[in-house]
Structure 1
Amino acid sequence: MKKTTYLFTFLVLLTFSCSQPDKQGITDKEYARLSDEQKRSVTNAIDGIVVEDDRLELTLFASEPMMINPTNMDIDDRGRVWIAEAYNYRSHLNPRNPTKAEGDRILIMEDTNGDGVADESKVFYQGNDINAALGIAVLGDKVYVSVSPYVYVFTDADGDDVPEKKEILFEGVGGVQHDHGMHAFTFGPDGKLYFNYGNEGKGIHHADGSPILDPLGRPVNSQTQPYREGMVFRMNPDGSDVEVLAWNFRNNYEVAVDSYGRMWQSDNDDDGNRATRINYVMDFGNYGFKDEITGADWRTRRINMEDSIPLRHWHLNDPGVVPNMLQTFAGSPTGILVYEGNLLPEDYQGQIIHSDAGPNIVRAYIPSKDGAGFTATIKNLMDGNSRDNWFRPSDVTVAPDGSLFVSDWYDPGVGGHAMGDQDKGRVYRLAPKGVDYKVSAPNYDNIESLVQLLQNPNRATHFKAFMALVEKGDAAKDALETLFTSSQNPRMKARAFWVLTKLPNGNEYIQMASTDADPLIRVAAVRASRINQLNDPDFLMKMAGDEDIQVRREVALAIRYQNNEDVWLKLANSYQSGDRWFLEALGIAADGFWDEYLSAYLSDLDETWMKSQEATDIVWRSRSSETPELLGKIILSQPGRNNERYYRALDFQEPSSKTKILKSLLASAPEEDQLIILRQINFDASSPDRELLALAKSTAGSIADNRDFLDIVRKYEIKDQKERLKELVYQSENNQHSQMAANIYSSLYGIEDIKKEIDQGDEAQTITAIEKFGTIDNENIAKLLAGYYTDESNSTAIRTAAMEAARGFNSEPYLWELVKADKVPADLLPIAQKILLSSWNGNLRAEANAFFGDAANSDYDLSKMLTSSGSVENGKTIASNYCLACHKIGEEGIDFGPGLSEIGDKLSKEGLFNAIINPSEGMGFGYETQLVKLKDGTEFTCIVNSKTENDLIVKLVGSSEQKIYKLADVESVTQQDLSLMPKFPLSETELVDLVSYLETLRK
């Protein structure tokens, strides 16, 4: 391959150096007076970001035109910054954006003259095979580049910055260029490489196409229980011994590993649900994005459902789900690391540092022990939200000198399949004031230097020192032992320990570390015993009695896949109720051995076990063949108390055993539990269980909760509750319940009954009935409504109401046929036009545009709109007319598309305009348009929430309710390129008003 080096000309260098901003910054008032063009310029880049700690200083290391659109970054041991660019980001979904035919680039940027600014840029590799890579890791002579569906390894053995080889390490990981696919690799202190993928990853395969297998021989993919959604992995640097370490995340963008071997990462929620989280990643943990057993979406109603969406989002009340360390609400999290340098002030040392592109912020998280797990507080470092909300930090990395580098995607939006700017991108350096960027050439030739380099906070340096010391073998032992026994920094002591475990007789150091006074060193010892396959039962039994709960947690994780009853019982007997982290560790350890473990545990307690909260907690978490019966005993033993958690635990047991216990409880459970049982038990309306049906009928009328009432009436098809059902149709307090009730009413009583309901009142009652039943979206209702708006003997008010109700994905095709046949009265045609031009059906909308002329106006003057101020009040009205039909704003609206309650924090003004004008460019993951074809020939467009073993769970257009189809009835599910969100027929003034209102939606 020909070596290509791009040295910028004097003119470009002069332009770049002259653009450096005044390090003193400017005031908020001065910044506010800048034009948008000035704010976006490199000259004012530093001024657009607030550094929250006045001990620190932000400088600009590189920007456009040297580099653009950085998705991920690494820094090598020479202090050079490597960037994965994304000019061609999701180009197949962004036809308006130009592309580079030669593909995207991996750049190496260097400051050769010591002024703290990059002045040389090299192209390490360029090609369409790495378009929009989301991960880069530079480790020795290997460069790992993650770009779904592949992971490539480039080898530069001679160090000339030109790769001699490009090989596929993994394949078949998610869709092409997917944000929720494969992410970056990082080096762990144990000599392993750690990496992850998001919930589009689906599975992971070797280069030859063969799947990665777990220790039980199961393929690691989203179709194999217990594996679901996003996952975390570990492997040897050569790609061997791949292990799956945790699963059921949504979009875990990166994983960070500290010197004790503990893992940390962020996870993005379904957009707009304020559930972004930071996790301590416990080995083999299920993190609850989807239902562990069924794979159902978090919105699916369940017993013991959490009382807020941020908690509900992760199934946190379910047995078998590891808790969250911290929830940060709205966000689009990206890069993460554990800072183990000493350049930044002491309060950042050892802490987690994280970039979140959504709220334009870089934060530090300070963990503290919480039983066997952690909780954390937040300390902000860099904030662009109050000034430049194009600041989109995509990654954070530590340089060899200990300074923090932050890459900035710089865009009005945050990815999610769209981009608004292709020409900008920045890299910043954060360091104590007055500390220049200086990196000395590392010396890997002698052991003393290697031990110093082993302690470097830069991962590339740490990696090379680790590998070199392992290669030295016993010759490095004395120097490493000195660091291990005398270091005042326990993290560096741990680094020495990990290398010692790789030397001959390394297991001796595990035994030594297991008696260390520092519990974190003992944690590392247990982790190392597993990696080294120590297989010493006496060691594990000894560590199971450790005084520190976090050490005992590691022992529990270490015996997964091992039938080690004695160790597990010792651990279980140390459990104290309330420590959910340790309870989950016990569950992880017992997987596959619950029958033996639980029986032995309860036999030690004999009949007193139900009086022990610890024992009932362990039964709640258990999965043994006797667990359903034990849960039933707990439920019966405490009448009048809230038993929902134990009923929910039954959902995680063998289905026939669950049904048997629930039926037995009907005869003896408290009356208030009967409703729970009716909701939870399996029921087939086509072949009904008469006992259950009789109970449902006798109970329905007394159900106080309206949602419970609707669920029972629908599930058991109860027809003698017509009046209450009708009341719910007409009630105004909860539109969601009203819509549900209308659909149930229609399915139980039919269209003729609805027509009688509409016709039996005065004009006001008729209009109300039309509005309420008009929310039903099917062709029969469309025809019924047409009978009212085409009958000119009806009043104008009735006809208008019927026409306004004629909207809906399944209703609009009938309206369109009437329009084409000239059967819509002229006075109502403007309403029909408005409905059809904003239809969710892209094909119908296109036909309507051709028929009426493109009233949606694709030639907006965006530059003019960006400088215009609109009416927030008018914008709120427009949002009510358009947005609330499919989005939640606060407590109003329909939970169909992403929530908009804090959209002003996530998207800039430009991003908001683009999302409205070009909705197909930025479909959020999980909200893509899917075409479902059933085997009976039926087709419909929807959002697929989840697919379980037996069911396809979808949301139909404009509805917050989920609908379940049997997979056996589904022919195919195909993702469409067009968003379900229509291009609304709004004028420029209306668009400006709407965006002005949306900008106010902040936390």
Structure 2
Amino acid sequence: MKNRLLTVGILSTLLFACSEKAPVQLSDEAYAQLSDEEKRSPEHALDGILVKDERLELELFASEPMLINPTNMDIDDRGRVWITEAFNYRTNLNPKNPTHAEGDRILILEDTDGDGKADKSKVFYQGPDINAPLGIAVLGDKVYVSVSPNVYVFTDADGDDVPEKKEILFTGVGGIQHDHGMHAFTFGPDGKIYFNYGNEGKGLHLADGSPIMDPIGRPVNSQTQPYREGMVFRMNPDHSELEILGWNFRNNYELAVDSYGRMWQSDNDDDGNRGTRINYVMDFGNYGFKDEITGADWRSRRINMEDSIPLRHWHLNDPGVVPNLLQTYAGSPTGILIYEGKLLPEEYQGQMIHSDAGPNIVRSYPVSQNGAGFNAKILNLLDGNARDNWFRPSDVTVAPDGSLFVSDWYDPGVGGHAVGDLEKGRVYRLSPKNTPYKVSKPDYSSVSSLIQLLQNPNRATHFKAFMALVAKGKEAKDALETLYAEGDPRMKARAFWVLTKLPNGNDYIQTASEDPDENIRVAAVRAYRENHMDNVEFLSRMAGDPSPQVRREVALAIRYQSQQAVWQKLAESYEPGDRWYLEALGIAAEGFWDEYLPAYLESFSPNWMESEAAKDVVWRSRSSQTADLLGKLILAQPGRNNLRYYRALDFQDPAAKDKTLKALLANASEEDQVIILRQMAFNPKRPDSQILALAKATASKIEDDQDFLEIVQKYEISNQSDRLEKMIYTSENGQISGSAARIFFNLYGPLPIEKAFANVDEDQAILAIRKFGSIDNEAMAKLLSKIYLDEKQSEAKRIAAMEEARGYNSEPYLWSLAQEDKIPADLLPIAQKILMGSWNGNIREEATKKFGSSSGSEYDVPKLLTMDGDIANGKTIASTYCLACHKTGNEGIDFGPGLSEIGDKLSKEGLINAIANPSEGMGFGYETQLVKMKDGSEFKCIVNSKTENDLIVKLIGSSEQKIYKLDQVESVTQLDESLMPKFPLSDQEMVDLVSYLETLRK
């Protein structure tokens, strides 16, 4: 009996140990029974995340209170997890966020007892100079920490985890603590260090403030063409040979480099527009967030505009824009890597793994080659959305054993100036089931050990092995050559990169250029560039390579060089429809089009227009004769097939473009005449009489409403009042109706509108009030006041007029009446609600003082979370408040971030906070800007873009863009206060609204 009890005891102990190692996840029913507090606890962290591959298991490596708010992560060669925390997140813009005066921390988490959980934590550094850092990379004795506007390099030469030195490597990168500023650094297998910044980076400067210059002497900043918005860079480990490699991203959060030297990253869209994407970063590529030439916002109407917003967002129909690899639609993408280990199942090996905090997910994107480009699909790894939408994966990193670590910001929201939780944060480990976390001490002394470490999937290990092998030089040559000959393709590439750094490195480039594996030949061409080789025979030979992937790299290698024969050879092998290859040709020809294009077209004699390939190359070209050639293409095949050629004219010299357009008028169809009128430059102060006459004659024939409005507004055509009125009253598209009303007012003034308000048919009068009342200016505010102040008018008309008396430019007049107590008592509740929820913070504050505290100014969030909401009533409330500035599906105004999938992005707590405290969670790109004009006027708006000559803005409550000339603008200042007012909602109204918004999912 004693032995039996002992056996049972041992089995119980083993079962208990196994259950601790791999606890059974709660069922959906059991998880639903947990309280919110239980769901948010570390004890149930694993219950909230679904592992989508049954061969894998997720373990909780570390959690609060050991760490909080992890924004980025790296793992060193000892398997220790380095974390950047952000307790002091956006404290410069959101003073309500609590602050640790001692600053944020860089932590090192370690599992010292081998149980797969961190039991030791130490602070590597803490200081207010690294508040809310967004990147960390541990490379040898250097630790790179990215915290805009600076990049710091910490040196820990003696390895005691106490830095002896802290230096600024780069400065002047974006604003303080900006999420769209500097991101993480990573090591590439070619021995380079890669990094990027988002669209608030603006430019890169050395520690002394001097700008980074490109190879032809242009400063690398957002004011210098072609450089725009988010950018990608690389440099040597000693920080020399800094290069810019790509630009015009929105918020490219992190960069991943595979063993062949190819770069990959994700990019976020303007919030709510379902445009999130994954990119293969082709060197020197423009990625289309803003218009390449003008810098205009993607919303700006243009010829050949893409059919859907996710595509339109990146100017994908424009010549000169590199295609997207994959669109992942709604999201807030964060960390990314290329998994080159063997521990995870085969389908993840050699593939991207990516964390997206918005939809609470970690994915893999298996890639296949397609011409000079790629295709990709999606495999989900971890999903928190179905259960715990506080799961906010901020980064993914590979440990030395090949397991995947995931850091979790853990919050009801995803940044955007706000943080909902300052107490939690987690790190998880994903691995095959029953795989303990074990990391051996690396041996960097022997060549044989270094060869093994060079193949490690952990970047910190790979870096140290790479540098040690380069230092050993000839001593390592034989072993590297063996790995090159016998290793699998990616490890063969790793050996190759080290060999290229040896004294006879160029010989290995020649050898690799003849390798049967096209990816090794790709690496050879990239190494040719990095080693600054100058060998035309090599380039010419590789330009004839059978692989378009290799030929793409040859094209990129000759940028900044006059290599007409090589380019010609590359161009002759272009296959129509391979956009990646076409863009590579364009990148190579930049600055040499006048040399390259004539010779290329001559090869198609007698008629290049019979070749689809030649037509594509002309469409992409930027030569002095391109505008004329595009004109010939348009004449040869009139109709909508020409839209791409008309759009290509926008990328040519403006004078040549207008000359071509004017020449086309003689033979243009009515459809083409409209296109030409849209594209022609026109100055109302010095009008071209022929163009103006054509516009007047054409306007009434234009079928498309948006084309009609654009022409009428541009040419100030005043004989189209009937059609404008019809659009105002009958269009089901609120944007069309509102635009027509504003154009009508600008052309004809207030008198005909006042007459419409006085229509004896009360229903028509009210309709006019509703339609024209949306015009937000003082003149309209005064017109409306004549109705609601006149007690002889019907109650219905007076209520309609009062309800339309809202808007940033209208409310000051309403407030002046309220101050003088002139608002009739029966309409005062409506006025109070408008004023206490005003766009204007000063009016809102003063109105609240005058009329008393607005309902719901301070919400008991725990109480709201227990209340049930009425979705139908919530939809009505959304129509009243939200649709005035947000799009939900096809309804609403495209002013603030779209709400069509907001239920996937924010938890219930996050939604409540976003509504109750809008200034704490402004979406990036939607911040309030105060524009002061040189004439003394000023206004608040959202700045969509700034071109060389124009400031393009959206005024409050409007989807229309307005253009101001920069020479009339005194200053543009970002304000801390959101343009979204605090709505005076009761507790129940708040719960109803949030309940409805939670239903808005993909």
The normalised TM-score by structure 1 is 0.98
- Quote the Cα distance in structure 1 between the aligned partners of 2:656 and 2:504: 50
Whole-angstrom CA distance in 2 between matches of 1:54 and 1:176? 43
Corresponding position of 1:643: 642
Q: 2:940 matched to which residue of 1?
A: 941
Distance 2:778 2:185 in 1: 52
Secondary structure at 2:481's aligned position in 1?
helix
User: Paired residue for 1:386?
Assistant: 386
For 1:741-760, list aligned pairs within 5 A: 741-760=740-759
Q: Which amino acid aligns with 2:66?
A: M
**How much has 1:21 moved relative to structure 2?**
8.6
1:11 is matched with which residue? none
Cα deviations across residues 47-104 of structure 1 (Å, max 9, x unaligned)? 1000000100100100001111100000000000000011111113333332111110
Aligned match of 1:449:
449
Q: Give the match for residue 995 of structure 2.
A: 996
Q: How far did residue 22 of structure 1 move?
A: 5.9
Matching residue of 1:730: 729
Distance 2:308 2:231 in 1: 25
How far 1:18 sits from its partner (Å)?
Answer: 14
Superposition deviation, residue 869 in structure 1: 1.5
Q: Distance in 1 between matches of 2:22 and 2:511?
A: 54
**Would you say 1:599 and 2:593 are equivalent positions?**
no
Residue in 2 that maps onto 1:407:
407
User: Do residues 795 (structure 1) and 794 (structure 2) align?
Assistant: yes
Q: 1:616 and 1:670 mapped to 2: Cα distance? A: 22
Is the counterpart of residue 291 in structure 1 residue 291 in structure 2? yes
Can you list the C-alpha shifts for 1:93-145, whole angstroms capped at 9, x where unaligned?
Answer: 33333211111000001000100000110100000000110000000000000
Report the RMSD for the aligned CA atoms in angstroms: 1.1
1:809-853 C-alpha deviation (Å, 9 max, x unpaired) = 100000000011111111001110111111111111111111111
**Pairwise CA distance, 1:642:** 2.1
What amino acid is the match of 2:840? N
Tell me, in whole angstroms, the C-alpha distance in 1 between the residues paired with 2:639 and 2:403.
59
In 1, the alpha carbon distance for the partners of 2:834 and 2:715 equals 36
What SS does the aligned partner of 1:808 have?
coil
Relative to structure 2, which stretch is displaced further, 306-315 or 725-734? 725-734
Aligned length: 986
Q: Could you tell me how far apart the structure 1 residues matched to 2:853 and 2:576 are?
A: 64
Q: Which residue of 2 aligns with 1:5?
A: none
The aligned counterpart of 2:372 is 372
Contiguous gaps of at least 5 residues in structure 1: 1-16
TM alignment of 1:491-570, pairs within 5 A = 491-570=490-569
Residue type of the partner of 1:512? T
For residue 675 of structure 2, what is the aligned residue in structure 1? 676
SS in 2 for 1:233: strand
* CA distance, structure 1, for counterparts of residue 406 and residue 269 of structure 2: 23
Alignment partner of 1:104 is 2:104: yes
Residue of structure 1 equivalent to 2:76: 76
Deviation at 1:218, TM superposition (A): 0.5
Q: Which amino acid aligns with 1:637?
A: A
Shift of 1:960: 0.5
Give the counterpart letter for 1:224 in structure 2: T
1:657 and 2:656 correspond: yes
Q: Which amino acid aligns with 2:796?
A: A
Task: After TM superposition, give the deviation of residue 762 of structure 1 in Å.
Answer: 1.4
Q: Distance in 2 between matches of 1:607 and 1:692?
A: 35
Identity %: 75
The match for 2:209 is 209
Q: CA separation in 1, counterparts of 2:584 and 2:568? A: 13
Flag structure 2 segments of 5+ consecutive residues without an equivalent. Answer: 1-16
CA distance in 1, matches of 2:510, 2:282: 23
Instruction: Indicate if the aligned counterparts of 2:94 and 2:976 stay in contact, CA closer than 8 A.
Output: no
Distance 2:211 2:639 in 1: 50
- Whether the 8 Å contact between 2:296 and 2:945 is mirrored in structure 1 is yes
Q: Does the aligned pair in 2 maintain the 1:21–1:47 contact within 8 Å?
A: no
Residue 219 in structure 1 maps to residue 239 in structure 2: no
What is the rounded CA distance, in whole Å, between the counterparts of 1:42 and 1:746 in structure 2? 60
For 2:588, give the aligned amino acid: A
Tell me, yes or no, if the aligned pair for 1:20 and 1:43 is still in contact at 8 Å.
Answer: no
Give the whole-Å Cα distance in 2 for the aligned partners of 1:391 and 1:478.
Answer: 48
Check whether the contact 1:21–1:43 (CA below 8 A) recurs between aligned residues.
Answer: no
Alpha-carbon separation, structure 2, partners of 1:574 and 1:432: 45
Which amino acid letter does the alignment assign opposite residue 773 of structure 2?
G
Residue 758 (structure 1) shift:
2.0
The CA deviation at 1:859 is 2.4
Q: Secondary structure at the match of 2:196?
A: strand
Amino acid in the other structure paired with 2:853: D
- 2:5 aligns with none
Query: How far apart in 1 are the matches of 2:725 and 2:249?
Result: 41
Counterpart AA for 2:71 = T
Residue identity opposite 2:695 in structure 1: A
* Residues 409 and 426 in structure 1, CA contact (< 8 A), matched pair in contact too: yes
1:333-356 deviation line (CA, Å, top 9, x unaligned): 000000000000111100100000
User: Contact 2:857 / 2:984 at 8 angstroms: preserved in 1?
Assistant: no
- Residue 867 (structure 1) shift: 1.5
Relative distance call for 1:460 and 1:942 in structure 2 (3 A) is same
Aligned-pair CA distance for 1:603: 1.3
Q: Is the 8 Å Cα contact of residues 89 and 97 (structure 2) preserved in structure 1? A: no
Whether 1:481 and 2:444 are equivalent positions in the alignment is: no
Please say if residues 856 and 983 of structure 1, whose CA atoms lie closer than 8 Å, have aligned partners that are also in contact: no
**Aligned counterparts, 1:180-195, within 5 A:** 180-195=180-195
Following the alignment from structure 1 to structure 2, what is the Cα–Cα distance between the partners of residues 20 and 933?
62
Counterpart AA for 2:216 = L
Structure 1 SS opposite 2:604:
helix
Distance 1:21 1:92, change over 3 A: farther
- SS state at 1:885 partner: coil
Query: How many angstroms apart in 2 are the aligned matches of 1:761 and 1:533?
Result: 82
Q: Secondary structure at the match of 1:92?
A: coil
How many Å separate the matches in 1 of 2:649 and 2:613? 18
Listed one character per residue, the Cα deviations across residues 289-345 of structure 1 (whole Å, up to 9, x for unaligned) are: 000000000000000000000000000000000000000000000000000000001
Q: Distance in 1 between matches of 2:997 and 2:22?
A: 33
Aligned residue number for residue 301 of structure 1: 301
- State the partner residue of 1:490: 489
2:645 counterpart SS class: helix
- In structure 1, distance between residues paired with 2:122 and 2:244: 36
Show the counterpart of 2:116. 116
Counterpart in the other structure of 2:928:
929
Once residues 555 and 962 of structure 1 are traced to their aligned partners in structure 2, the CA distance between those partners, rounded to angstroms, is: 42
Secondary structure of the structure 1 residue equivalent to 2:367: strand
Who is 2:887 aligned against? 888
1:731 is displaced (CA, Å) by: 1.3
Q: Secondary structure at the match of 1:93?
A: coil
Report the CA distance between 1:369 and its aligned residue: 1.1
Cα deviations by residue, 1:351-402 (Å, 9 ceiling, x for unpaired): 1000000000000001111210111000000000000000000000000000
Within a 5 Å distance, the mapping from 1:960-979 to structure 2 comes to: 960-979=959-978
Deviation at 1:147, TM superposition (A): 0.2
Contact 1:21 1:45 in 2 (8 A): no
Quick check: 1:837–1:856 contact (8 Å CA) kept in 2? no
CA distance in 1, matches of 2:640, 2:890: 31
Matched with 2:354 is 354
Amino acid at match of 1:126: Q
Instruction: Decide whether the 8 Å contact of 1:21 with 1:44 is kept in 2.
Output: no
Equivalent position amino acid for 1:765 in 2? Q
| Counterpart residue type for residue 57 of structure 2 | E
Q: Distance in 2 between matches of 1:761 and 1:370?
A: 67
1:710 aligns with 2:706: no
2:933 pairs with 1:897? no
Which deviates more, 843-852 or 884-893? 843-852
What's the counterpart of residue 463 of structure 1?
Answer: 463
- Residue 908 of structure 2 contacts residue 994 of structure 2 at CA under 8 Å; is this kept in 1? yes
**2:61 corresponds to:** 61
Partner of 1:24: 24
Q: 1:907-926: per-residue Cα shift (whole Å, max 9, x none)?
A: 00100000000100010110
Residue 858 of structure 1: how far off its partner (Å) = 2.4
Alignment of 1:625-640 (within 5 A): 625-640=624-639
Match of 2:366, SS state, is strand
Distance 1:578 1:964, change over 3 A: same
**CA-to-partner distance for each residue in 1:617-665, whole Å, 9 max, x for gaps?**
0000000000000000000011245211000000000111101111111
Tell me what 2:3 maps to: none
Letter in 1 for 2:399: A
- SS of corresponding position for 1:769: helix
